[in-house]
Amino acid sequence: MQQPAPKALPAKAFPVSWDQFHRDARALAWRLAGSGPFESIVCITRGGLVPAAIVARELEIRMIETVCIASYHSYTEQGGLQVIKGIDSVVSGTDGGKGVLVIDDLVDTGKTARVVRDMLPKAHVATVYAKPQGRPLVDTFVTEVSQDTWIYFPWDMGYAFLPPIADGASG
């Protein structure tokens, strides 16, 4: 959830369709199925909302909480991290988050993951996508992309023409 916004079109673009994201989130649930049991999910907003809903359905988890952390203060610049809403003690408990599954769409530099890990040190942290800098902070992920790749999530895109790769297109 912390990929630095590109100043220009990135050299490596990874556009993800709704169908692909759904498949990848289900693949994450499949990998997590043997890692529990999980009593609750904490999703990191906003990027973790969609995969958390899919994973919650697949693993039949009903208790879902959010932790709201802002790292992008506009689309083009990343600022300091700000915890807007913490985790309710009903979910976090007194045991460091044991039995809690933390979900996000992406771990990039790991700054957001580190903040949540400090809140819930015993939680299982899972993301759909991972970049090398943040990968050590997650327990489970589906797809690794290079640090210099910009992931275009389906909720950030509309339908548009893409020129062929042979014509110099990067996406």
Clarify whether 148 is annotated catalytic: no
Catalytic residue among 95, 105, 139, 167: 105
The DSSP code sequence of 25-49 is HHHHHHHHTTT---SEEEEEETTTH
Catalytic option among 104, 139, 156, 167 = 104
- Indicate which residue of 19, 95, 108, 156 is catalytic: 108
Largest distance between two CA atoms of the chain: 57
Q: Is the peptide bond before 46 cis (omega within 30 degrees of 0)?
A: yes
List alpha helices for the chain, DSSP H: 18-32, 49-59, 89-92, 111-119
Q: 104 catalytic, yes or no?
A: yes
- Does 105 qualify as catalytic in the annotation? yes
Residue 80 CA from chain centroid, whole number: 18
Q: Which residues are catalytic?
A: 104-105, 108
